[in-house]
């Protein structure tokens, strides 16, 4: 009888000890809660959906390219391949482009000139914020102070000066050119930038944005650097 009581007592103590251990672990390592408000979550969700849409669009383009290769004859396949190379060169920013677009001049504010405030190079954070804001519009091509900006470009600080693709950006004033797929898209970008809060960010750095009306024929130069082929080798015909 005493053995049965001792066994039951032991089981009860084990259960109590287990519950105390679980409660202590919960208090010591509470579950991390997401304290963001609903708008922050909605914004992150919108960005994820935007990325998902872009990936689907790229997959669709690649599928169309493959389908076009499969449907073409051997004689036409070369032309299709050249067309694909031209598209990739444009996307990489190695070719000059002409099309509808806008010119934006970044210059010192009137107050900074009147008070003699020294104007330094535009900060990399501000320039990056501007580029991210403009990239809401798809299919655009951009040139910053004569330097072609693409998805492979970088904005960095080198020796205290902001640079694009390793080349220093001039101390304001300098120009930013943006070409859109259509004139309608250029007008949308123009109206968006006129009302954008990015002007406040520039003004805090004693800079202003002069946004010119869209034009039909605007040219931006290609990236002068040539790509080096490190891994691919051309095979002779028949191999």
Q: CA geometry: angle at 25 spanning 29 and 13, to 5°?
A: 175
Name the nearest CA neighbour of 104 among 167, 186, 16.
186
Structural domain boundaries in the chain:
1-30, 37-70, 97-220
- Is it the case that residue 1 has pLDDT exceeding 80? no
Cα of 162 vs its chain's centroid, Å:
18
**Which pair of tokens denotes residue 11?**
């089981």
User: What is the Cβ-side half-sphere exposure of residue 219, based on CA atoms within 13 angstroms?
Assistant: 4
Rounded to whole angstroms, how far apart are CA atoms 144 and 217? 18
> Is residue 65 within 8 Å of residue 170, measured between CB atoms?
no
- pLDDT tens string 20-37: 666 666 555 555 555 666
CATH class of 97-220: alpha beta
Mean pLDDT of 112-125: 88
> Is residue 207 within 8 Å of residue 130, measured between CB atoms?
no
- 160/174: higher pLDDT: 174
**Which pair of tokens denotes residue 74?**
């051997």
Residue 118, pLDDT score: 86
pTM of the model: 0.63
- Is it the case that residue 137 has pLDDT exceeding 70? yes
- Is it the case that residue 58 has pLDDT exceeding 80? no
Least trusted range by pLDDT, from 45-54, 78-87, 135-144: 78-87
């Amino acid at each position: 009888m005493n053995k049965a009581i001792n066994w039951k007592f032991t089981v009860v103590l084990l259960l109590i000890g287990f519950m105390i251990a679980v409660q202590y672990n919960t208090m010591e390592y509470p579950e991390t809660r997401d304290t963001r408000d609903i708008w922050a979550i909605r914004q992150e969700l919108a960005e994820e959906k935007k990325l998902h849409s872009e990936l689907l669009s790229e997959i669709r383009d690649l599928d169309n390219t493959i389908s076009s290769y499969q449907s073409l004859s051997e004689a036409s396949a070369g032309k299709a391949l050249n067309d694909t190379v031209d598209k990739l060169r444009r996307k990489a920013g190695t070719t000059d482009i002409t099309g509808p677009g806008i010119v934006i001049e970044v210059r010192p504010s009137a107050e900074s000139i009147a008070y003699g405030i020294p104007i330094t190079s535009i900060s990399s954070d501000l320039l990056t914020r501007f580029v991210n804001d403009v990239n809401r519009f798809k299919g655009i091509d951009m040139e910053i102070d004569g330097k072609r900006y693409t998805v492979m470009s970088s904005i960095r600080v080198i020796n205290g000066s902001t640079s694009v693709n390793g080349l220093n950006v001039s101390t304001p004033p300098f120009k930013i050119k943006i070409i859109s797929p259509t004139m309608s898209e250029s007008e949308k970008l123009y109206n968006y930038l006129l009302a954008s809060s990015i002007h406040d960010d520039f003004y805090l750095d004693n800079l202003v944005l002069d946004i010119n009306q869209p034009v039909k024929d605007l040219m931006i130069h290609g990236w002068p650097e040539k790509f080096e082929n490190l891994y691919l080798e051309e095979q002779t015909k028949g191999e």
